[in-house]
């Protein structure tokens, strides 16, 4: 079942970043005795240069520390910009602890079905997180969300997702996954059976602007979570989001879990690959049950504004040109292709991974036996050229796009993605069923109702005049999802 996220526009979030660790400087003073009556200018010149460059190096290092995102706020982008620096959004509800807070945490995590799970969902106010949390809650699992509501993209959209989850009884704690004290408290208050770890710094191109945010969220944040989980009693089984980006420069298609992943094309991909290696360490040493899911270009209602289908829709409606990349393919140019995967299919894969995750085997921070360690592709298996995506959006929006076709820059993007999901099909029962045209219909309907309700109403009236009633063109209800 797809998550039924309905409601008026509000605000929500995704991803946690780890606080930067300030290096400690140790100064050692050495006293050198010079032979009497012998003064050499060369050593003096060398020492002067050494002192000069030492001061310069220390100055540059201090400047880097002071100007890094963890110490000084970066300039905020315009309200309609999908890319921003990774800073937690200030909120009066950011504090945690106390009897009332613990009561809300326990109530949200309480299981409501026989043999149900108690799941901590990190990045719960993010795109995949909110849909997954809603699906788990609907079937009776206990669900507690965690999110820091960072401003990588519009925080109002993130807060809106959190509002919808709250209406279904899911409480989203406003906090960071790198906050070890908060994580320890959550595992102390609730004996989670599972963790669905979706918090991360997403996006390939943003790494060119704020690289440290990827290290803080995707590496340090993951380690903080794994540390809390291995010390918990009982230890939870962990399912977490890796990425199809780990395949990097791999040219073997479709991408299989057995293909090499040691040639990342972006920092984002490198941090996700590092996460997979770190997860193996915690599985090997501490007996944590770990399942990595490599998502392939997820799209759908309540999606991320930094994704092409989302900002193409925005710019087409505004009459602004859209940039379509093409890649050199031998003696000719080829458009970029992506294995677009609808959100409902991704959620089904996440839930199946949780349901089939074996137990962690550690106790008291020590491994008592072998624990499951799994990796799966979750894609649609049907790559589509980006030009075809634009064609579909033009048809659904009834607006002609102004296209600007350019050669793909070296910004970390890859020319194509194509998932081999045979392993997930065999072991998880994963079978994606939503084609791009059907999924985009649902996304466009949600987008218009959320951002352009007047235009959405006109389209409904037009559809009604053609004998299709007030329901969506795909026959489904037009509520936001």
Q: Does residue 274 surpass a pLDDT of 70?
A: yes
For residue 40, pLDDT over 80 is answered with no
The greatest distance separating any two alpha carbons of the chain, rounded to the nearest whole angstrom, comes to 106
User: Alpha carbon of 120 to those of 133, 191, 248: distances in Å?
Assistant: 9, 10, 30
pLDDT tens readout for residues 347-369: 999 999 999 999 999 987 789 99
Q: Which of 140, 132, 230, 217 is nearest to 177 (CA)?
A: 217
Q: 449: which 2 tokens? A: 């109702």
Over residues 402-446, the pLDDT tens digits come to: 999 888 776 556 788 999 999 999 999 999 999 999 999 999 999
Structure tokens at 6: 């309905």
321, 332 in Cβ contact below 8 A?
no
Both tokens of 264, joined, read 């990342």
Sequence-distant (≥ 6) Cβ neighbours of residue 249 within 8 angstroms: 263, 264, 265, 414
For strands 362-363 and 366-367, give the pairing: antiparallel
**What is the reported pLDDT for 52?**
41
Cis-peptide, bond into residue 254, ω within 30° of zero:
yes
Report residue 456's pLDDT band, with 50, 70 and 90 as the boundaries: confident
* Catalytic positions, written as ranges: 268
Whole-Å CA distances, 209 to 134, 178, 204, 215, 415: 33, 21, 10, 13, 21
Is residue 67's pLDDT more than 80? no
Confidence band, pLDDT 50/70/90 cuts, at residue 34: very low
Report yes or no on whether pTM surpasses 0.85: no
Q: What is the dihedral of CA 369, 136, 93, 451, to 10 degrees?
A: 140
Which has the higher per-residue pLDDT, 480 or 299? Answer: 299
Q: Is 224 exposed, middle or buried (0-12, 13-18, 19+ CB in 10 A)?
A: buried
Q: In terms of DSSP bridges, do strands 290-295 and 322-329 run parallel, antiparallel, or are they unpaired?
A: unpaired
What's the token pair of residue 283?
């599985």
The confidence score (pLDDT) of residue 481 equals 34
Q: How do residues 184-200 score in pLDDT, each as one tens digit?
A: 999 999 999 999 999 99
**Is 334 or 426 the better-scoring residue by pLDDT?**
426
Look at 82 and 372; give whichever has higher pLDDT.
372
| Beta bridge partner(s), residue 239 | 196, 291
> What is the 3 state secondary structure string of the chain?
CCCCCCCCCCEECCCCCCCCCCCCCCCCCCCCCCCCCCCCHHHHHHHHHHHHHHHHHHHHHHHHHHHCCCCCCCCCCCCCCCCCCCCECCCCCCCCCCHHHHHHHHHHHCCCCCCCCEEEEECCCCHHHHHHHHHHHHCCCEEEEEECCECCCCHHHHHHHHHHHHHCCCEEEECCCCCHHHHHHHHHHCCCCEEEECCCCCCCHHHHCCHHHHHHHHHHHHHHHHHHHHHCCCCCEEEEECCHHHHCCCCCCCECCCCCCCCCCCHHHHHHHHHHHHHHHHHHHHCCCEEEEEECCEECCCCCCCCHHHHHHHHHHHCCCEEEEEEEECCEEEECEECCEEHHHHHHHHHHHHHHCCCCCEECCEECCCCCEEEEEECCCCCEEHHHHHHHHHHHHCCCCCEEEEECCCCCCCCECCECCHHHHHHHCCCCCCCHHHHHHHHHHHHHHHHCHHHHHHHHHHHHHCCCCCCCCCCCCCCCC
Rounded Cα distance between 268 and 172, Å, is 26
Q: Give the per-residue pLDDT at 90.
A: 44
Strands 337-338 and 118-122: unpaired
- pLDDT interval class at 5 (50, 70, 90): low
Q: Quick one: angle between helices 267-286 and 221-231, nearest 10?
A: 20
Q: Which two tokens stand for residue 430?
A: 């994963």
Q: Mean pLDDT over residues 374-395, rounded?
A: 96
* pLDDT computed for residue 176 by the predictor: 96
The arithmetic mean of pLDDT across residues 30-44, rounded, is 40
User: Of the ranges 60-69, 91-100, 249-258, 283-292, which one carries the lowest mean pLDDT score?
Assistant: 60-69
- CA 158-163-169 angle, to 5 degrees, is 130
Average pLDDT over residues 130-143: 98
Could you give the CA distance from residue 94 to residue 339 in angstroms, rounded to a whole number? 37
Contact indicator for 7, 481 with CB cutoff of 8 Å: no
Which pLDDT belongs to residue 412?
56
Nearest 5°: CA angle at 90, between 275 and 182?
50
How many residues in total does the chain contain? 481
pLDDT digits (tens, 9 = 90+) for 222-243: 999 999 999 999 999 999 999 9
Phi, psi of 434 (to 5 degrees): -110, 115
For residue 463, name the pLDDT band (cuts at 50, 70, 90).
Answer: confident
pLDDT tens-digit map of 102-116:
999 999 999 999 999
Please give the Cα distance from 388 to 417 (Å, whole number).
15
- Name the token pair of 418: 């194509």
* Residue matched to tokens 């080829």: 334
Q: Which of 279, 276, 288 is nearest to 368 (CA)?
A: 288
Is domain 200-296+342-379+415-432 annotated with CATH 3.40.1190.20?
Answer: no
User: Please, which residues have CB within 8 angstroms of residue 259's CB and are 6 or more apart in sequence?
Assistant: 247, 250, 252
């Amino acid at each position: 079942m797809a998550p039924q996220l309905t409601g008026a526009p509000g605000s929500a979030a995704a991803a946690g970043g780890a606080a930067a660790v300030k290096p400690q400087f140790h100064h050692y003073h050495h006293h050198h005795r010079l032979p009497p009556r012998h003064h050499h200018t060369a050593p003096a010149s060398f020492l002067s240069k050494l002192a000069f460059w030492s001061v310069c190096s220390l100055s540059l290092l201090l400047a880097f520390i002071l100007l890094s995102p963890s110490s000084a706020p970066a300039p905020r982008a315009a309200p309609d910009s999908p890319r921003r620096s990774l800073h937690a959004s200030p909120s009066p509800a950011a504090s945690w602890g106390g009897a009332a807070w613990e009561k809300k945490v326990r109530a949200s995590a309480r299981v409501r079905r026989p043999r149900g799970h108690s799941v901590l969902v990190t990045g719960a106010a993010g795109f995949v997180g909110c849909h997954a949390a809603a699906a788990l809650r609907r079937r009776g699992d206990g669900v507690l969300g965690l999110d820091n509501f960072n401003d990588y993209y519009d925080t109002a959209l993130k807060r809106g997702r959190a509002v919808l989850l709250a209406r279904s009884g899911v409480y989203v704690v406003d906090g960071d996954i790198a906050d070890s004290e908060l994580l320890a408290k959550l595992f102390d208050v609730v004996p989670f059976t599972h963790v669905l770890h979706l918090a991360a710094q997403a996006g390939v191109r943003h790494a060119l602007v704020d690289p440290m945010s990827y290290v803080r969220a995707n590496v340090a944040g993951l380690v903080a979570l794994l540390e809390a989980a291995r010390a918990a009693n009982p230890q939870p089984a962990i399912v977490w989001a890796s990425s199809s980006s780990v395949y990097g420069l791999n040219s073997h298609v479709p991408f299989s879990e057995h293909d090499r992943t040691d040639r990342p094309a972006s920092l984002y991909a490198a941090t996700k690959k590092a996460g997979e290696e770190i997860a193996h360490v915690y599985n090997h040493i501490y007996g944590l049950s770990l399942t990595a899911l490599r998502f392939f270009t997820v799209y759908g209602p309540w999606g991320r504004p930094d994704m092409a289908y989302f900002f193409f829709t925005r710019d087409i409606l505004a009459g602004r040109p859209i940039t379509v990349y093409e890649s050199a393919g031998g003696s000719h140019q080829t458009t970029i292709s992506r294995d677009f995967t609808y959100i409902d299919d991704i959620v089904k894969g996440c839930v199946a991974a949780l349901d089939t995750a074996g137990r962690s085997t550690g106790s008291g921070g020590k491994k008592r036996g072998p624990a499951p360690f799994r990796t799966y592709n979750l894609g649609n298996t049907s790559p589509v050229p980006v030009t075809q995506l634009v064609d579909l959006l033009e048809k659904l929006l009834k607006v002609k796009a102004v296209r600007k076709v350019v050669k793909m820059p070296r910004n970390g993007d890859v020319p194509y993605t194509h998932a081999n999901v045979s392993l997930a099909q065999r072991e998880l029962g994963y079978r994606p069923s939503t084609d791009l045209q059907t999924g985009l219909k649902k996304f466009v309907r949600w987008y218009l109702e959320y951002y352009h309700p007047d235009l959405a109403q006109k389209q409904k009236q037009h559809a009604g005049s053609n004998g299709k009633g007030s329901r969506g063109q795909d026959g489904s209800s037009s509520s936001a999802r």
